[in-house]
Amino acid sequence: MSERGELATAAHEWIAQDPDEETRAELTALVAGAEGGDERAVTELADRFSTRLTFGTAGLRGAIAAGPNRMNRVLVAQAARGLADFLLERAAPGEVPSVVIGYDGRKNSEIFARDSAELIAGAGLRAVLLPRLLPTPVLAFAVRHLDVSAGVMVTASHNPPNDNGYKVYLGGADQGSQIISPVDEQIEAHIVRVASAGPITDLPRSSGYETAPESVFEAYVHETAAVSWLPAAEIGAQPRVVYTAMHGVGWETFSRVLGAAGFIEPDVVEAQIRPDARFPTVAFPNPEEPGALDLSYAAARSGGAQLIIANDPDADRLAIAVPDATSESGFRRLSGNEVGALLGWRAAEAHAASMRAGAAAGAGSATPRPMLACSVVSSPALAAVAASYGLGFQETLTGFKWVSRVPGLLFGYEEALGYLVNPQTLRDKDGISAAVTLLALASELAVDGFTLDDQLDRFSEKFGHFGSAQISVRVTDLSLIESAMKRLRAQPPTRIGGVSVASIDDLALGSADLPPSDILRIRLADGSRIMVRPSGTEPKLKVYIDVSSTTGKLEKRKKFVAQRLAELETGMRELVS
């Protein structure tokens, strides 16, 4: 049979098992076009059927469409049964594995979640579906709160509107963290076996799954509100806030947590406050993307707000913006590294205070050693905080599945707006608990007439001024990213932006402190650092530049860092463009 014939056969077999009328219809039309000689349709079919979305440590993520290389009900059914088989295989004799399933407001999220619940229950496991669309942190919390074997969150986080995804968490010894290797490969092997065994119509389903009680949500609200340490008098100094949910599911949960903690409800960006799978007001529903916060800036200007809080659509990330008279919008979004530095400093201070109180009461020392942690591409600023407070510090590979697993973790973050301020409650980034902690800090500062910008200056005076820049090269052809990484390895630079290269670590070969990963770490003679890696979730090559200074007064430190960042950014753009 010809390649076109094989593609057509595979497509017809897919159509026969697909329960989704929309994806069935669009694939039928695509097959008709290919059979009629439309070369673009043939190319599209080949892209969809010559491979499949691989279940990795980030689970599954892709555009919603028919075919094994897209997100759809067939693929989700195979994934759900594959996960069930994996859990049954590793279960102790007589144990019935259990899975809690959550979903956000994206297209097909609830459908994918209910399919998963029916198929997991049909495989003989206990399946528990969260009562409605809720943020990812609630699902991550529920894995530990319900003491289940695993959790599934149906979300594509901040990806483009037509994407969806499937994230898996493990309970037990994994404490509700996202999966890591080799678990992803083991689950993938089961998924492939399910896909090879026959159509999903042969898989048993059951409506005997449970719906989680509202008490799970209430417990998350209670535990998250507890991260605020402020008395009522200081909460009364709360700056005026504008909040946006970015068309996602964060608002209901965030507002409940604020109320439980005693904070004043913020102004909201009405056009973005309710879940809307179309994401009509943003090109990308990601607070990091240009233009994503424009409506928040407008609302803050008109309402006289001093602080903007933004969650991404599944509310596991947090963006913060503060007034800036030099900006055209009147506001400046703090970088993930700036927010991470503020929250990390606050965590270190809180731990030091608790140790002093414990020493006064005669309490013993904590074990394991209390740690601050961040991803390897995040700012070295957190290491300076840890050193100053006598805490441990650990860099991890990118991805919160690594940060959350650090033993003795007090606080962890990654520069892509992910923060974990309460690891005793859940083991994933949480944009809601981080927002409450940041708001408490801003309110505490306001009592004495200070702002978050003032606190950043204090940080720079105490620990040194740290500055970061990032370059993202978006591509349509993923081979261009591979080519760029090969070129840098084959022809390593000796100078960047006029500064000599001191060393280059190829982390693909592994290192003493990190497992192998496709990352280049470039250290410069002046102490600056550059990291280069492919994005794990988007078609981008990413470059991270970090510069610091402890020389002179604050303004001198800032001037040096800004100038050196500009020079290194120019140099790296020449290398990767």
Is 157 one of the catalytic residues?
Answer: yes
Given the residues 98, 116, 157, 549, select the one marked as catalytic. 157
Distance of CA 306 to the CA centre of its chain: 26
Would you state the structure tokens that stand for residue 561, as one six-digit string? Answer: 């860092």
493: left (phi over 0), alpha (psi -120 to 50) or beta: beta
Dist CA 379 CA 381 (whole Å): 5
Place of tokens 């119509």: 201
- Using an 8 Å Cβ cutoff, are 441 and 232 in contact? no
User: Which residues have CB under 8 Å from 364's CB, separation 6+?
Assistant: 358
CA atoms within 13 A on the CB side of 539: 10
Q: Which secondary structure element, helix H or strand E, spans residue 168, and what is its range? A: strand 163-170
Place of tokens 């959790």: 151
Place of tokens 């389903």: 205
Dist CA 125 CA 91 (whole Å): 11
Sheet-wide strand order for 241-244: 267-268, 241-244, 307-311, 318-323, 331-333
Helices (H), 284-325: 294-303
Dist CA 53 CA 269 (whole Å): 36
Dist CA 419 CA 413 (whole Å): 4
Omega prior to 368 cis, within 30 of 0: yes
User: Which residues have CB under 8 Å from 320's CB, separation 6+?
Assistant: 307, 308, 309, 310, 333, 334, 339, 438, 452
Dist CA 148 CA 133 (whole Å): 19
Contacts 24+ apart (CB under 8 A), 5-14: 7/34, 7/42, 7/45, 7/46, 7/49, 7/50, 8/34, 8/35, 8/45, 10/49, 11/45, 11/48, 11/49, 11/66, 11/67, 13/199, 14/49, 14/66, 14/67, 14/68, 14/74
Task: Please give the DSSP secondary-structure letter assigned to residue 509.
Answer: G
E runs forming strands in 205-265: 210-211, 241-244
Annotated catalytic residues are 157
